[in-house]
Structure 1
Amino acid sequence: MLINTPICDFGRPAPDFTLATPDGQTHSRDSLMGEKGLLIAFICNHCPYVIAIIDRLATDLQALEAQGIGTACIMSNDWQSYPADSPKNMTRFAQAHGLTAPYLVDADQSVARAYDAVCTPDFFGFDAKGGLQYRGRIDDAGMKDPAARKPELLEVMTAVATSGKGPKVQHPSMGCSLKWR
């Protein structure tokens, strides 16, 4: 089911969490926060929207990390019903696409609920103080050929890192609905 993200609730604080990668490394909101901000991406392994953007996302996340913005991906889907999203497959998916940001398991789906995540991919960009500044798409290419894309997520988070403010006009991310239990 195709879902669009809601409008950005500017300044909303980043909910706290502690989650682990499939291999057991734990990360919290505070440990992930970079000196210039934090980007949280709710993704999964099987969604065609995520599959279409994952290589671009991995590259953009590395660029953001180099600028002092912390990054993490969170998988909140019910992997019992969608085995492609299992923790074992999360590790394979991350390795296959060069994803270096922590890919975290939200087993009880509480973090997705706290963030009001609705789809995969769903992006939350926070300033250095933890206030929400971006809730939009990765770029204008979507599932099309990304050769001439405008990397909106990268550009916006770069601006947030320097100014602390996100743009008033944001285009929603589009993807598959989260798979709730």
Structure 2
Amino acid sequence: MLRMSRMMPLGTPAPDFALTDTTGTVRTLADVAGPEGLVVAFICNHCPFVLHLIDGFVAFAREYQERGIGVVAISSNDIVEFPEDDFEHMVAFAADRGFTFPYLHDPDQRVAIAYEAICTPDFFLFDGDLRLFYAGQFDASRPKINRPPVPGLPPLRTDLPVTGADLRGAADALLAGGQPPQPQRPSAGCSIKWLAGNAPTWA
């Protein structure tokens, strides 16, 4: 089901976590943060919206990690209903796509709930003090999918290249000491696949 991301108030502190990455190492918020900030991306292995932009996001990560912004990706999907998102497939996905950042497994979905993540992909950029600076789309590009318009939501754009323009603009503003960009446009993607009884009221 298509979902649009919601947004924590700007300035919200990044919730802490301790999750296992695809190397078997437990990573905390402090471990993955960079000196200038942190991007937290909620993704999964199978979502067409993630697959559409993942190579562009990997390129973004490589560039901005060199500029002092940490990057981490988190998968929170229910692996019983969606076994293609399990840990073994996460390991392969990270290797195949050349991740230069940790890819963490959130098996009980507590971290997704803490971040108020709702879709894959869902992006959060925090400043050097780990306070929310940007939450929204990577860019306006969307995959070509056979899906009717969703009442109350803007139409999907399928004719735009993947550039990362929105997240890049926010990261550039952060690094330049500027203000959070406005407007901040929500991401769009597949809903996070919640465990039974886990779906928050806002999902």
TM-score of the two chains, using structure 2 as the length reference: 0.84
Unaligned runs of 5+ in 1: none
Deviation at 1:151, TM superposition (A): 1.8
RMSD: 1.5
Three-state SS of the structure 2 residue aligned to 1:163 is coil
Paired residue total = 181
Task: Verify the 8 A CA contact 2:126 2:134 in the aligned structure 1.
Answer: yes
Cα distance between partner residues in 2 of 1:40 and 1:87: 18
Deviation at 1:86, TM superposition (A): 0.6
Deviation at 1:51, TM superposition (A): 0.7
Query: In the alignment, does 2:134 pair up with 1:152?
Result: no
Three-state SS of the structure 2 residue aligned to 1:104 is strand
Cα distance between partner residues in 2 of 1:141 and 1:114: 27
Alignment-derived partner of residue 121 in structure 1: 121
Deviation at 1:168, TM superposition (A): 2.4
Alignment-derived partner of residue 2 in structure 2: 2
Deviation at 1:104, TM superposition (A): 0.3
Deviation at 1:23, TM superposition (A): 2.9
Unaligned runs of 5+ in 2: 144-157, 196-203
Which is helix-richer, 1 or 2?
Answer: 1
Cα distance between partner residues in 2 of 1:52 and 1:25: 28
Aligned AA (2:120): T
| Per-residue CA distance 1:55-93 (angstroms, 9 max, x = gap) | 111111111101100110000001111011011001111
Alignment-derived partner of residue 179 in structure 2: 165
Cα distance between partner residues in 2 of 1:124 and 1:148: 18
CA distance 1:93–1:163, shift in 2 (3 Å): same
Moved beyond 3 Å, runs of 4+: 144-150
Cα distance between partner residues in 1 of 2:117 and 2:162: 28
Alignment-derived partner of residue 68 in structure 2: 68
Deviation at 1:159, TM superposition (A): 1.3
Cα distance between partner residues in 2 of 1:150 and 1:30: 25
Task: Verify the 8 A CA contact 1:3 1:174 in the aligned structure 2.
Answer: yes
CA distance 1:81–1:59, shift in 2 (3 Å): same
Three-state SS of the structure 1 residue aligned to 2:136 is coil
Alignment-derived partner of residue 112 in structure 2: 112
TM-score of the two chains, using structure 1 as the length reference: 0.94
Cα distance between partner residues in 2 of 1:137 and 1:37: 18
Map 1:68-147 → 2, pairs under 5 A: 68-143=68-143, 144=158, 147=161
Cα distance between partner residues in 1 of 2:70 and 2:162: 26
Three-state SS of the structure 2 residue aligned to 1:135 is strand
Alignment-derived partner of residue 12 in structure 2: 12
Deviation at 1:166, TM superposition (A): 1.6
Cα distance between partner residues in 2 of 1:61 and 1:180: 27
